[in-house]
């Protein structure tokens, strides 16, 4: 599906490691006063402040976490940054710096790595993040990319997974399930393409789904929206593995149970129609799909009026006592254990 639109192929060995790093990073500028020294010395230097420091890292491996036959490298670079920023935002923090480490085989020309870094730069510019370092090495096969994000938050602002209390409301930003369905559409088109490379797919009906898969946005805005509403979440997590698995983390760490309402789970119309087409249950997709990078959090029930009706948020349930377990109230008003819906049911691994 992805054609080689850039016929130019410059071998990485022509530049050498130092030349490559310089070439890739020279257009990045520094946006944050906490960055004293970025790329170019033995270590980056950050200013110490009176805030707490947040650090998170993710490792992405070709063939395991991404497939370059439908993931353009620019999108991969962007997404690799997003998944890390999302973790900083899930602590109710502000992301400020990233490091990027890559291992690449000689099958990639310079132009491919430039695309990867174009995506990383777009993410840095959009989210006001400084690229402050990394490492570059060769791999015998495939590509590996690891991003570390560094952020900060005032001690009293940091939100952990552990603070959910009985009667708290369970809230989610945005909508769920689209990224998983985007992947299903791309996988299907890949199969079609392998059979008939001249087939030009019409993907108009799936634009939102594909965008959510290939170009996710981390919810940087949620912290500010909650501040404006004067709401401090009691617990928070980002949705990388699906609603079920994330609410399970909050409940097990907070030692509480939960009740989710199927009819409250926010779904985009494209999710609903694609689920009909693929003949899968939309609730299952929202519960187990993953890669939505929305934020899931709990707030005191007293904040109901502040959250209710806010277009950014959906109240999808509430926290219960631990011995009540984790339950989903279906549209037919049946209560079933969330586990029975099968988290990871969609995952092949
Ligand atoms: P060293 O050998 O001391 O580890 P390197 O030559 O690997 O130094 O790196 C030189 C500088 O370039 C350092 O600031 C390092 O953080 C940065 N750097 C190396 N690889 C990357 C990369 N892939 N992306 C961004 N910065 C990088
Ligand atoms: Mg190094």
Segment 200-215, tens digit of pLDDT: 778 889 999 999 999 9
Asked whether residue 212 is domain-assigned, the answer is: yes
Residues 118 and 236 placed together within one structural domain of the fold: no
Asked whether the predicted pLDDT for residue 14 surpasses 90, the reply is: no
Residue with tokens 């939102």: 208
Whether 327 and 237 map to the same domain: the answer is yes
Give the SS3 label for residue 344: coil
Binding residues, as ranges, are 42, 56-58, 65, 87, 117, 134-135, 161, 238, 240-241, 291, 343
CATH number (domain holding residue 330): 3.90.650.10
Distance (Å, whole) CA 98 – CA 119:
14
The reply to whether 62 and 201 lie within a common domain is no
> Is the per-residue pLDDT at 3 higher than 70?
no
- pLDDT above 60: residue 61: yes
Q: Which of 76-90, 185-199, 331-345 has the lowest mean pLDDT?
A: 331-345
Give the pTM: 0.93
Whether the per-residue pLDDT at 337 is higher than 90: the answer is yes
Q: Are residues 99 and 216 in the same domain?
A: no
Domain annotation covers residue 8: no
Say whether pLDDT at 6 is over 70.
no
Q: 145 and 218 share a domain? A: no
Res. 296: pLDDT tops 80: yes
CA separation for the pair 226, 222 (Å, rounded): 6
Per-residue pLDDT band for 5 (boundaries 50, 70, 90) equals: low
Q: Tell me, yes or no, whether 129 and 231 share the same domain.
A: no
298 backbone dihedrals φ, ψ, rounded to 5°: -120, 145
pLDDT at 344: 45
pLDDT at position 4 is 52
Residue 226 belongs to a domain: yes
Print the domain residue range for 318. Answer: 169-337
The count of domains in the chain is 2
Q: What CATH code is carried by the domain that includes residue 61?
A: 3.30.1330.10
Q: Is the pLDDT of residue 348 over 70?
A: no
pLDDT of residue 339: 72
Annotated binding-site members for substrate: 65, 291, 343
Residue 6 lies in a domain: no
Q: Is the pLDDT of residue 345 over 50?
A: no
For residues 22 and 51, state if they share a domain. yes
Stronger pLDDT, 92 or 16, i.e. the higher one: 92
Same structural domain, 137 and 180 = no
pLDDT tens-place string over residues 167-189: 999 999 999 999 999 999 999 99
Mark whether 49 and 113 lie in a shared domain. Answer: yes
pLDDT at 1: 46
| Res. 81: pLDDT tops 60 | yes
Q: What are the C-alpha distances in Å from 19 to residues 136, 138, 172, 263, 329?
A: 11, 15, 45, 55, 58
Same structural domain, 313 and 209: yes
Whether 96 and 47 map to the same domain: the answer is: yes
84 and 121, same domain (yes or no): yes
Residue 21: CB within 6 Å of ligand 1? yes
Atom of ligand 1 nearest to the CA of 99: 25
């Amino acid at each position: 599906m992805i054609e080689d639109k850039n016929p130019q192929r410059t071998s990485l060995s022509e530049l050498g490691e130092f030349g490559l790093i310089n070439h890739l990073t020279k257009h990045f500028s520094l946006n944050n006063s906490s960055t004293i020294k970025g790329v170019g010395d033995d270590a980056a230097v950050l200013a110490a402040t009176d805030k707490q420091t947040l650090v998170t890292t993710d490792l992405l491996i070709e063939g395991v976490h991404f497939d370059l036959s439908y993931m353009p490298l620019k999108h991969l670079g962007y997404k690799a940054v997003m998944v890390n920023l999302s973790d900083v935002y899930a602590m109710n923090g502000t992301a400020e710096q990233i490091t990027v480490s890559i291992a690449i085989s000689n099958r990639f020309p310079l132009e491919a790595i430039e695309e990867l870094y174009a995506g990383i730069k777009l993410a840095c510019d959009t989210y006001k993040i400084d690229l402050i370092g990394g490492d570059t090495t060769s791999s015998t096969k495939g590509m590996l990319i690891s991003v570390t994000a560094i952020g900060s938050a005032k001690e009293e602002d940091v939100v952990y997974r552990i603070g959910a209390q009985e009667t708290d409301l369970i809230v989610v930003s945005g909508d769920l399930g689209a990224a998983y369905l985007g992947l299903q559409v791309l996988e299907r088109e890949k199969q079609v393409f392998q059979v008939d490379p001249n087939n030009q797919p019409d993907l108009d009906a799936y634009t939102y789904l594909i965008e959510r898969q290939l170009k996710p946005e981390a919810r940087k805005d949620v912290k500010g929206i909650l501040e404006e509403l004067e709401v401090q979440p009691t617990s928070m997590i980002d949705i990388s593995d699906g609603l079920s698995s994330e609410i399970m983390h909050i409940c097990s760490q907070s030692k509480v149970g939960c009740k989710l309402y199927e009819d409250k789970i926010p779904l985009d119309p494209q999710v609903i129609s694609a689920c009909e087409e693929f003949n899968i249950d939309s609730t299952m997709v929202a519960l187990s799909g993953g890669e939505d990078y929305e934020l899931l959090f709990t707030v005191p029930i007293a904040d109901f009026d502040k959250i209710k009706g806010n277009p950014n948020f959906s109240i999808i349930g509430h926290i219960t006592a631990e011995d009540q377990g984790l339950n989903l109230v279906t549209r037919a008003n049946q209560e079933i254990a969330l586990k029975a819906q099968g988290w990871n049911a969609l995952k092949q691994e």
